[in-house]
Amino acid sequence: MKIFCYLLLTLMSLNAGFIEEFSKNSKVVVVYGKEATDEEKDVANYIFKVLELDQTGDLYDHIIDDAYALKHKYFYAKFHLIIIGTAKTNRLFSPLADIQTWDPSRKSNLPALSSKNHIQDGYFFAKYGHFKAAPGFGYVRHMLNPFTLEAFNLSNGTAKLGPMTATYITGADIKGLKNAYTSLLDSNLLEGVIVPESLPTEQTSRFQLGNAALNYIDDINTDLVLTEEEHELKFFGWQQGSLADYSGSYKLSGVQAKQICHLKYATQNPSLTTSDNHQNSILAIRYKNPDESLKALEGIAKSLKLPIKIEASPEAKAYRCAQVNARWLLIRKGNWLMIENLPMGWKEVLVKNAAKLFR
């Protein structure tokens, strides 16, 4: 009990990202499955307590089961949902087929791929590839609330709905589920695979990356808030880079990245698509050392024929880039190289604050 209370206080003390945005938020609801195990219900109640959803100031229930959510789905189209469980225990997981098990005979909570697959051991993630089976796999996915999207489409786009989201928290077992929610709450991981520490790196398809390169972004300043007059852009969370990100950056730069992630920033007036694509984001690429990040920057400049004067200094430096009608920034510091995808008005603000992107 003491450990639980300590972790609760530690998480509540964080001042940026998912917890800050969703704490005491009257538009947030935790959903567990009607068939949920006791352990899954404990996870749902834990998240409910961490986010202090009993202090929203309204009379609505902010923790419900999937049957109730489905019965009133157009009402819950106006809420952010945090969905706990698996495809077996929570029916709200039915539209999520991002993670599957290779072996239909294994006793896993995850849906099975076709039996025609010749690889019969491990898990397959749609964006992250194949990982060999090991206890403790978790998965987080932050996307548009499917109820919101359905209501919007049925109204032919006339429904006045905000960009409400659904955050799926799942795992191959209860340990994986706990690893997933810890990564979400503790490091603001919005999407990605939580790889068990026991898994040898050569048994994944993520270019033999070390576990530490998957689950944390310790070098990034997650407290950064960009301001311009009365407007604000602040860090909300991050997504792990996909296999396409790794192969694409290698093809463009000629240097293999150690870690790739998408840093997500929240605006005061987000669009309906912001949560499920890379608007308001910065692609952050970490290399083994400053020499490799410099080589990667030179490779990108050569590939895209960018007329920029590159400096070898490891200190933070922003480069203004232009190609046809596109304009963006390349930012390098030490091992890191970043490519921003922010609205036009924020680019010069970011130039002035480039060094503050890093701890």
Multiple choice CATH, 2-199, 3.30.70, 3.90.1170, 3.30.379, 3.30.720: 3.30.379
- What digits encode the pLDDT tens for the residues 339-358? 988 888 888 888 898 899 99
Average pLDDT value for residue range 23-37: 95
Tokens representing 6 are 């300590």
Q: Identify the band that residue 334 occupies on the pLDDT scale cut at 50, 70 and 90.
A: very high
Instruction: Tell me the pTM.
Output: 0.83
Average pLDDT value for residue range 98-108: 54
Burial of residue 305 (CB within 10 Å: 0-12, 13-18, 19+) is: exposed
Q: What is the pLDDT of residue 122?
A: 66
Closest by Cα among 8, 1, 17, 83 to 52: 8
- What digits encode the pLDDT tens for the residues 56-95? 999 899 999 999 999 999 999 999 999 999 888 999 987 6
Strands (DSSP E) contained in 229-325 are 231-240, 259-267, 281-286, 317-323
Q: What are the sequence ranges of the domains in the chain?
A: 2-199, 217-357
Q: CA–CA distance from 100 to each of 37, 97, 120, 280 (Å)? A: 20, 7, 12, 30
| Summary count for the chain: helices (H), strands (E) | 10, 16
Give the Cα separation of 268 and 288 in Å (integer): 36
Strands (DSSP E) contained in the chain are 28-32, 63-65, 80-84, 99-101, 123-125, 129-131, 138-144, 165-171, 189-194, 225-228, 231-240, 259-267, 281-286, 317-323, 326-333, 336-341
Tokens representing 260 are 């790739």
